Amino acid sequence: MARMAGRRTLFAAPVLLVVTFGVFAVAAASPFDPVKAYAGTAGLTASQDNLDQLRANLGVDQPLVTRWWDWLTAALTGDLGDSSVLRQPVADVIGERLGWSVLLAATAFLVAIVLGTGLGVLAGRRPGGWLDRCVSSAAYTLEAAPAFWLGLLAIWFFALKLDVLPAGGLTDTASDTVTFGQVASHLVLPAAVLGVSQLPWFFLYVRQGVADALEEDPVRGARARGLSERTVLLGHALRSGMLPMLTLVGSRVPELITGALLVETVFSWPGIAAATVQAATSVDFPLLAALTVLATAAVLLGNLLSDLLYGIADPRVGFDG
């Protein structure tokens, strides 16, 4: 396990280097002008000399490779630079928002895995039954439903029509303090929407895996020995059927990040979504590079976690890959 983690870490370093350079290259080719975005309305009346001076202060007058190298060497020492659009250090921008994004994504992922696994086991137990047909139809429908559409639908039904849950934000508008109860109530809708958007893949993988496992000879043998249906289902079929789903954990991380950005925007959740959008539209090089590295690292960690979980669940695989 340690050797595989070490090899993946060594592999991650050049990947992150290529990704950060790609961010600077794409940003440099962007039609958005970071100087005008930084200056705002004042840039409309500013002289060309003032704009050139501002461009030099922001460092965007340097060649692409120079900007990337300066950012990279500073980042390796812990200095991620300053966000030109948010007017504060990049580390502070991420530190203030990352925790809320992690809370939302982790809760949603837990909802997707638990519900997807439970429904998959029940549906795979009797393929073609009424539960299997109903849940499978819903899963295929949810696969095609964008996360932002589900979010808007949830706000309309639960917040506006039923008025049982808040429509967005982190706390009530009349409150200036952040309490556990308020955060929990405001987390329900965005976490449920994001979790439901990820649920179909977990359900379909577990459902197919359990259905196939129930037809295998070891499971039939367990039934022939007189073991209870609960033991056969949970002790044999589920363990075998869960193996394909474990590989799905890492591959869903990019979709989870994309979905989280959309859901955060719809529900005004104070995560990194707003900062990501502002960094992209304002060509905020330091913030854009840091957020991209963060997302890439999350994807690499997700893939590593999938391999580790698969190796633990099935020792025959080992950790030599």
* Residue of higher predicted confidence among 93 and 31: 93
Q: What is the CATH number of domain 93-313?
A: 1.10.3720.10
15 pLDDT above the threshold of 80: yes
Res 158: pLDDT: 92
C-alpha–C-alpha distance, residues 151 and 161, integer Å:
14
C-alpha–C-alpha distance, residues 59 and 26, integer Å:
17
Res 156: pLDDT: 94
Res 176: pLDDT: 65
160 pLDDT above the threshold of 80: yes
Question: Which of 72-86, 108-122, 302-316 shows the lowest mean pLDDT across its residues?
Answer: 302-316
Res 174: pLDDT: 60
Which tens digit of pLDDT belongs to each residue from 245-259? 777 777 777 778 888
Res 137: pLDDT: 92
> pLDDT band at 320, cuts 50/70/90?
low
C-alpha–C-alpha distance, residues 321 and 7, integer Å:
9
Range picked from 20-24, 190-194, 234-238 for highest mean pLDDT: 190-194
Give this prediction's pTM.
0.79
Which tens digit of pLDDT belongs to each residue from 81-140? 888 778 888 888 889 888 998 999 999 989 998 998 889 888 888 888 898 899 999 999
316 pLDDT above the threshold of 70: no
Task: Find the mean pLDDT for residues 300-318.
Answer: 68
Is 10 buried (19+), middle (13-18) or exposed (0-12) by CB count in 10 A?
A: exposed
Which tens digit of pLDDT belongs to each residue from 266-300? 998 888 887 887 777 777 778 888 888 888 888 88
What number of CA atoms fall less than 13 Å from residue 54's CA on the CB side?
17
C-alpha–C-alpha distance, residues 255 and 20, integer Å:
20
* Residue of higher predicted confidence among 260 and 218: 260
Which tens digit of pLDDT belongs to each residue from 43-69? 666 677 777 777 777 677 778 888 888
Considering the chain, what is the average pLDDT of its residues?
80
311 pLDDT above the threshold of 70: no
C-alpha–C-alpha distance, residues 44 and 46, integer Å:
6
- 127-136: b or e for each residue (b if 16 or more CB lie within 10 Å)? beeeebeebb
Res 188: pLDDT: 93
Q: Where are the domains of the chain?
A: 2-90, 93-313
